[in-house]
């Protein structure tokens, strides 16, 4: 672009001034400016003409035009600059590694602005398909954790098919504190549940606005614009088929763990295995498997493996994570759900003890330390690959 304005005293900018201007150009994928990332490989000032070379991580990067435009805009705005020539190159493997290292460091020092405390474990409860009991497991596990005296956030990320308010017998309108929504609270034993669901956004306009957001964006909003306060756990009841949400979570909160709910039938195993695979591709760690609707125990205490047995074991072994528990098929689960009184609250029901055991196993199985770094590293590579392949990220 050619400009006619000149520096008041006719002088040209220094290289440092150009570099400073380039700090306004961010690589939106890597989340930092191109100077900080070491992507600026050459600055040349010749009178009123400035040449800048930017090295991109991949050839044909769809962000190239945007980065070029931003460089032109910010450098061109410097007094005394008449023309800006922006060229792009592609990084060699070493340079790429060092840029990724830097991006990783920056991401670690400056995580995105969620209101979820760093100390809270974030657990996404996922399954390949609906109807396997994901929401039932989420609320009962949340209750069992709260009964241990913990503060547990429950995010109902099933925007279209939300069921958490009904299962917990909670209703009401979410209020705003400052600019943030305040989750609804329910005290359980010595602990507290803080719950957020589309079901609490009574305001029709608000609800329509939320439904208009793409799913991933809606979940991001739920994480960023909600006053979660101090939490020990945040359980996320994931909608089915959530590759993009998992990617979003990986980028926003790389420490998110995935808990896979499966049922014994082989078909469900395959879907659940695919979910695990998806979680891994999104670079979230899988913490464990819960087998739901396993044996049916009749009133005489005889157990029937209606859907076959060992499915959860097999899946857990296949993906190399612990089987955290097996929840039998029992009418108390659906009855508790219908009554808004999760079975995990009722010590007269044998399933309360099972959910207590699962909660204990979850607490006892924190994610492996140090794996977070690996996660975000692979995550960035995945983002990069997706961008290269022209997929939406």
Phi, psi of 314 (to 5 degrees): -60, -45
The string of DSSP letters for 323-338 reads: EEEEEEE-HHHHHHHH
- When asked if residue 337 is in the footprint of ligand ADP (CB under 6 A), the reply is yes
Among 41, 206, 309, 334, the residue binding ligand ADP under the rule CB under 6 A is 334
**Cβ closest to Mg ion, residue 341 vs residue 393:** 341
Asked if 316 touches ligand ADP (CB under 6 A), the answer is no
Write the DSSP string, 50-93.
EEEEEEESSTT-TTHHHHHHHHHHHHHTSTT--EEEEEEEE--H
Q: Which is nearer to ligand ADP, 220 or 275 (CB)?
A: 275
Among 67, 132, 286, 358, the residue binding ligand ADP under the rule CB under 6 A is: 132
6 binds ligand ADP, rule: CB under 6 A = no
What does 288 interact with, of ligand ADP, Mg ion, none (CB < 5 to 8 A by kind)? Answer: none
Quick check: 140 binds Mg ion (CB under 5 A)? no
- Give CA–CA dist 23/358, Å, rounded: 49
**Residue 384 belongs to what H/E stretch?**
helix 371-388
Q: Are 315 and 272 in contact (CB under 8 A)?
A: yes
327 binds ligand ADP (CB under 6 A): yes
Query: Which residue lies nearer to Mg ion by CB, 135 or 287?
Result: 135
Residue with tokens 């006053």: 227
Dist. CA 43–CA 124, nearest whole Å: 46
When asked if residue 163 is in the footprint of ligand ADP (CB under 6 A), the reply is yes
CA angle 246, 247, 248 (to 5 degrees): 90
Number of residues near ligand ADP (by CB under 6 A): 17
Q: Does 263 bind Mg ion (CB under 5 A)?
A: no
Q: Work out whether 350 is an interface residue with ligand ADP (CB under 6 A).
A: no
Which tokens is 343 given? Answer: 């079975």
By CB under 6 A, the residues from 249 to 308 that bind ligand ADP are 292-293
Which region, judged by CB under 5 A, interacts with Mg ion, from 19-27, 162-170, 252-260, 330-338?
Answer: 162-170
Of 22 and 164, the one with the shorter C-beta distance to ligand ADP is: 164
Least distance in angstroms from the C-beta of 34 to ligand ADP:
44
Q: How many CB atoms lie within 10 A of CB 23?
A: 14
Pick the closer one to ligand ADP by CB: 134 or 147: 134
**Cβ proximity to ligand ADP, 50 vs 327, nearer residue:** 327
Please choose, from the candidates 211, 209, 219, the residue with its C-alpha nearest in 3D space to the C-alpha of residue 248.
Answer: 219
Q: In angstroms, give the least distance from the CB of 386 to ligand ADP.
A: 27
Among 357, 360, 336, 358, CA closest to 346: 336
CA dist., res. 180 & res. 104, Å (int): 29
CB of residue 336 to ligand ADP, shortest distance in Å: 8
Q: Does 55 bind ligand ADP (CB under 6 A)?
A: no
Q: Residue 60: which of Mg ion, ligand ADP, none does it interact with, CB under 5 to 8 A by kind?
A: none
Burial 226-256 (b: 16+ CB within 10 A, else e): bbbbebbbbbbbbbbbbebbbbbbbbbbbbb
CA neighbor of 239 nearest in space, from 182, 181, 155: 155
Q: Does the protein bind ligand ADP through residue 170 (CB under 6 A)?
A: no
Q: How many residues form the binding site for Mg ion (CB under 5 A)?
A: 3
Residue 256 near residue 223, CB atoms below 8 Å: no
Measure the CA–CA gap between 171 and 165, rounded to whole angstroms.
6
Give the residue with the Cβ less far from ligand ADP, 343 or 375. Answer: 343
130 touches ligand ADP (CB under 6 A) = yes
Residue 260 interacts with which of Mg ion, ligand ADP, none, CB < 5 to 8 Å by class: none
| Strand 180-182, strand 175-177: pairing | antiparallel
**Both tokens assigned to 291:** 């087998």
DSSP letter (8 states) at residue 244: H
Q: Should residue 135 be labelled a site residue for Mg ion when binding is judged by CB under 5 A?
A: yes
126 binds ligand ADP (CB under 6 A): no
Stretch that binds ligand ADP, among 25-33, 39-47, 74-82, 325-333 (CB under 6 A): 325-333
- Residues lying near Mg ion in the complex (CB under 5 A): 134-135, 163
- Residues lying near ligand ADP in the complex (CB under 6 A): 127, 130-136, 163, 292-293, 327, 329-330, 333-334, 337
């Amino acid at each position: 672009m050619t400009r006619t304005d000149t520096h008041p005293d006719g002088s040209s900018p220094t290289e440092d001034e150009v570099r400073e201007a380039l700090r306004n150009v961010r690589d939106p994928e890597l989340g930092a400016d191109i100077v900080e990332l070491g992507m600026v490989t050459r600055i040349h000032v010749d009178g009123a003409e400035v040449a800048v070379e930017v090295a991109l991580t991949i050839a044909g990067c769809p962000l190239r035009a945007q980065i070029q435009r931003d460089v032109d805009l910010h450098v061109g705005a410097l007094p005394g600059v008449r023309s800006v020539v922006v060229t792009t190159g592609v990084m060699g493997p070493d340079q790429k590694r060092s840029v990724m290292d830097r991006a990783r460091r920056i991401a670690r020092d400056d995580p995105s602005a969620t209101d979820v405390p760093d100390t809270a474990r974030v657990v996404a409860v996922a399954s390949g398909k609906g109807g396997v009991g994901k929401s039932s497991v989420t609320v009962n596990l949340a209750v069992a954790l709260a009964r241990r005296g913990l503060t547990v956030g429950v995010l109902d990320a099933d925007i279209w098919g939300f069921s958490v308010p009904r299962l917990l017998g909670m209703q009401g309108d979410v209020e705003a504190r400052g600019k943030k929504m305040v989750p609804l609270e329910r005290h359980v034993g010595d602990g507290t549940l803080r719950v957020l669901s589309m079901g609490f956004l009574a305001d029709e306009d608000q609800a329509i606005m939320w439904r208009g957001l793409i799913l991933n964006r809606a979940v991001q909003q739920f994480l960023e614009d909600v006053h979660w306060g101090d939490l020990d756990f945040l359980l996320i009841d994931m909608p089915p088929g959530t590759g993009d949400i998992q990617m979003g979570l990986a980028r926003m909160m790389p420490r998110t763990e995935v808990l896979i709910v499966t049922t014994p039938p082989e078909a469900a195993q395959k879907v659940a295995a695919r979910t695990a695979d998806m979680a891994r591709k999104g670079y979230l760690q899988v913490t464990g498997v819960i087998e739901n609707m396993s044996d049916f125990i009749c009133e005489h205490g005889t157990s029937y493996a209606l859907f076959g047995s060992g499915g959860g074991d097999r899946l857990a072994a296949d993906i190399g994570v612990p089987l955290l528990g097996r929840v039998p098929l029992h009418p108390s689960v659906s009855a508790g759900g219908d009554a808004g009184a999760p079975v995990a609250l009722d010590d007269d029901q044998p399933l309360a003890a099972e959910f207590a055991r699962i909660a204990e196993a979850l607490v006892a199985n924190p994610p492996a330390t140090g794996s977070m770094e690996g996660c975000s590293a692979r995550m960035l590579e995945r983002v990069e690959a997706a961008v290269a392949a022209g997929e939406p990220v």
